[in-house]
Amino acid sequence: GQNIDQPTEMTATEGAIVQINCTYQTSGFNGLFWYQQHAGEAPTFLSYNVLDGLEEKGRFSSFLSRSKGYSYLLLKELQMKDSASYLCAGGGGSQGNLIFGKGTKLSVKP
Binding site for another protein (CB under 8 A): 4, 30-31, 33, 35, 41-45, 48, 50, 87, 89, 92-94, 96-103
Report the number of secondary-structure helices (H) and strands (E) in the chain: 0, 11
| Closer residue to another protein in complex, CB, 37/65 | 37
Q: Alpha carbon 9 to chain centroid distance?
A: 13
DSSP letter (8 states) at residue 52 = S
What is the smallest separation between the CB atom of 100 and another protein, expressed in angstroms? Answer: 4
What is the smallest separation between the CB atom of 3 and another protein, expressed in angstroms? Answer: 11
DSSP letter (8 states) at residue 82 = G
| Closer residue to another protein in complex, CB, 15/28 | 28
What is the smallest separation between the CB atom of 9 and another protein, expressed in angstroms? Answer: 11
Cα gap 103→101, rounded to integer Å: 5
